[in-house]
Amino acid sequence: MADLHDRWVAERRNEYYYKLAKKLNYRSRASFKLIQIDNRFGIFKAGDAVVDLGACPGGWLQVAQERTWPNGKVIGVDLRYIKPLEGVETFVGDITEDSTMLELLRRFGGKADVVISDMAPNIMGHYATDHARSINLCMYAVDVCDRILKKEGKLVMKVFMGDMFESLRSELERRFQSVKVHSPAASRDTSSEVYVICQGFYAKTNVKLRKPKVDEKKPEFTVKGGFI
């Protein structure tokens, strides 16, 4: 009975944020999760350079753009095509592919202040599988940080909670001064999704960084650290 009630509350909440997103011209209700995270943890500042992983349809891109204005630089990548958003660069790619990583480094052409990742696997409904796939995507986001994030930079990342979370947390704690788990009010109550808020990137992980090969046809690096 409690389950049914919880689901009912969650659905009303989703509907509330869905309508609010429409009203405020955000592309997704996920925007409110990032707004709430930023309000609480102070992620963005004017002029920041931001990389958004799993950015489609673009709700987080909009928030990142607003909150780094003026002079912010925002780039987004997703498996799916993102409808153009003025002032923001986007491209289609799979972040688990070497070619996408190279394309991101090429297009961005500098270091980022913030990496945000709302990436989620296709939900199978099998808890352990969904969790494992989510952790895998998170490790790719960590890999992006190792390549692109400035010293003192920040990472905000979605993860589906489960027993592999502690291994992810230790990878993060090797790299960031502060690692916090947070569930913004706009997040669905019934899902296992949480956000990890990482601040103070050391930019000197003792994991040996692989160098992306220049030859696009045959990229050689693979993702490091405890991959599934």
Size, binding site for ligand SAM by CB under 6 A: 22
Least Å from the CB of residue 120 to ligand SAM: 4
CB 29 within 8 Å of CB 12: no
Written as six digits, the tokens of 212 are 């992306």
Instruction: Give the angle 157-164-191 at the CA atoms, nearest 5°.
Output: 55
Rounded Cα gap, residues 159 and 56, in angstroms? 17
Q: Kindly name the residue from 154, 158, 204, 213 that is annotated as catalytic.
A: 158
Q: Which of 23-31, 35-43, 163-171, 213-221 is the region at the interface with ligand SAM (rule: CB under 6 A)?
A: 23-31
**What mask, x for binding ligand SAM by CB under 6 A, covers residues 126 to 145?**
-----------x--------
Rounded Cα gap, residues 197 and 67, in angstroms? 17
Q: Which of 12-20, 77-85, 168-176, 196-204 is the region at the interface with ligand SAM (rule: CB under 6 A)?
A: 77-85
**Length of the chain, please?**
228
Amino acid at position 118, single letter: D
| DSSP class of 209 | P
Instruction: Give the angle 131-38-195 at the CA atoms, nearest 5°.
Output: 10
C-beta closer to ligand SAM: residue 121 or 200: 121
Amino acid at position 170, single letter: S
CB 180 within 8 Å of CB 141: no
Least Å from the CB of residue 56 to ligand SAM: 4
Least Å from the CB of residue 88 to ligand SAM: 12
Q: Identify the residue among 54, 72, 153, 184 touching ligand SAM (CB under 6 A).
A: 54
Q: Identify the residue among 14, 18, 57, 66 touching ligand SAM (CB under 6 A).
A: 57
Check residue 25 and give left, alpha or beta (phi > 0: left; psi -120 to 50: alpha).
left
Q: Identify the residue among 80, 83, 208, 218 touching ligand SAM (CB under 6 A).
A: 80
**What mask, x for binding ligand SAM by CB under 6 A, covers residues 88 to 127?**
------xxx---------------------xxx-------
DSSP, collapsed to helix, strand or coil, labels residue 125 as coil
73 annotated active-site: no
- Which residues are near ligand SAM by CB under 6 A? 27-28, 30-31, 54-60, 77-80, 94-96, 118-120, 137
> Could you list the active site residues?
158
